């Protein structure tokens, strides 16, 4: 069996909150609760499973932060992850008429996020880094969240208006990244820039470059970043080829149901990641099945391994993943 395989266990905030005994409402409305969960959660999982400690925190206003300057809102529940309240843009004409806010720091959820950031900076332990992010979501995915499924019809019936909409979201994403850089003092992103684009695969390859990839490239070019990375779900092999041809050096296809490790190896000459599936391959599996599936993926050619925890995963299942990962690292 091949060895030398790097691995990671990804832990979303709802899982850290579960381990800490903090509700999701507390986590999303109180900066003290957010800081506690982001520091105490990794400490608990380090003690239980030997996962890396985390000494960095950041305001967490979900991926919906990127679309919030244009009316996207999310609802906070007592103990479930937040969900958007709906698609706020009712027509493509309205979408095309949108303008980027003059002061991004006062738009959408950014005032609250900056308030959380300032609280964390004032109260975090000295050895803890406080970050701030914005604009990492690809304009196409933001557009889908704002406009909904009607956007799929718009690209056929009113492509010029869709491009005007996406150009506005692209400029907004650039300003959000610049705001984050100014707030933290970290400057430009460097030669590599990353995107989250879960809805990219909703459009076929014939539209993917025109309505999705080109706008990510514009953002990367603005920051002088020739190397691009992405987390994107729902892609097919032709999408992968397009990304590779336009400067992507790493693609995390997540738990994409349409792609296998063999598919990625067939198309890609760049680094990639296919994640183990959180539900059927971790939550609902036995420890023996988890180890067997891990070996299958390594044998298929996985260059690295990752699984994202969800709530309710038995401790013995997490330990099984960590044990086989350490055996093959």
Best CA proximity match to 49, nearest among 274, 326, 272, 329: 326
- Give me the sign of the Cα torsion angle 129, 105, 11, 311: positive
Supply the pTM of this predicted model.
Answer: 0.95
| Mean of pLDDT values over 220-248 | 97
- pLDDT category at 190 given cuts 50, 70, 90 is confident
What's the mean per-residue pLDDT of the chain?
A: 97
Rounded Cα gap, residues 239 and 207, in angstroms: 10
pLDDT tens digits, 14-63: 999 999 999 999 999 999 999 999 999 999 999 999 999 989 999 999 99
Other C-beta atoms closer than 10 Å to the C-beta of 11 total: 19
pLDDT tens digits, 250-297: 999 999 999 999 999 999 999 999 999 999 999 999 999 999 999 999
Q: pLDDT at position 126, please?
A: 95
| Mean of pLDDT values over 161-176 | 98
Rounded Cα gap, residues 164 and 14, in angstroms: 36
Token digits of residue 181: 């850089």
Kindly give, in sequence order, each residue whose CB lies less than 8 Å from that of residue 56, ignoring residues fewer than 6 positions away: 38, 128, 129, 130, 131
Rounded Cα gap, residues 110 and 70, in angstroms: 12
Q: Pairing between strand 83-84 and 74-75?
A: antiparallel
Q: Is the Cβ–Cβ distance between 245 and 223 less than 8 Å?
A: no
pLDDT over 90 percentage in the chain: 97
- pLDDT category at 2 given cuts 50, 70, 90 is confident
């Amino acid at each position: 069996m091949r060895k030398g395989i790097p691995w990671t266990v990804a832990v979303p905030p709802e899982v850290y909150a579960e381990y800490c005994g903090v509700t999701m409402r507390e986590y999303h409305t109180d900066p003290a609760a957010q800081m506690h969960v982001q520091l105490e959660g990794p400490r608990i999982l380090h003690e239980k499973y030997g996962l890396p400690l985390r000494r960095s925190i950041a305001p967490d206003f979900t991926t919906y932060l990127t679309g919030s300057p244009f009316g996207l809102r999310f609802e906070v529940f007592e103990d479930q992850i937040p969900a958007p309240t709906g698609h706020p843009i009712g027509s493509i004409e309205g979408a095309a008429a949108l303008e980027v806010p003059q002061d991004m720091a006062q738009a959408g959820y950014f005032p609250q996020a900056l308030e959380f950031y300032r609280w964390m900076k004032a109260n975090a332990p000295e050895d803890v880094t406080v970050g701030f992010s914005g604009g990492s979501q690809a304009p196409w995915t933001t557009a889908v969240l704002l406009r909904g499924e009607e956007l799929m019809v718009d690209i056929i019936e009113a492509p010029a208006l869709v491009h005007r909409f996406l150009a506005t979201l692209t400029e907004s994403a650039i300003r959000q990244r610049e705001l984050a850089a100014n707030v933290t003092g970290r400057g430009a992103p460097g030669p590599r820039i990353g995107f989250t684009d879960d809805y990219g695969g909703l459009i076929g390859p014939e539209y993917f470059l025109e309505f999705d990839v080109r706008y990510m490239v514009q953002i990367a070019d603005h920051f002088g970043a020739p190397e691009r990375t992405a987390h994107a779900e729902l892609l097919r092999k032709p999408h992968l080829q397009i990304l590779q041809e336009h400067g992507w050096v790493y693609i995390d296809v997540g738990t994409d149901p349409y792609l296998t490790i063999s598919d990625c190896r067939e198309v890609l000459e760049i680094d990639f990641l296919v994640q183990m599936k959180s539900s059927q391959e971790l939550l609902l599996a036995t420890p023996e099945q988890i180890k067997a599936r891990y070996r299958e993926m390594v044998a298929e050619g996985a260059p690295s391994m990752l699984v994202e925890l969800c709530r309710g995963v038995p401790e013995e299942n997490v330990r099984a993943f960590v044990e086989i990962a350490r055996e093959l690292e």
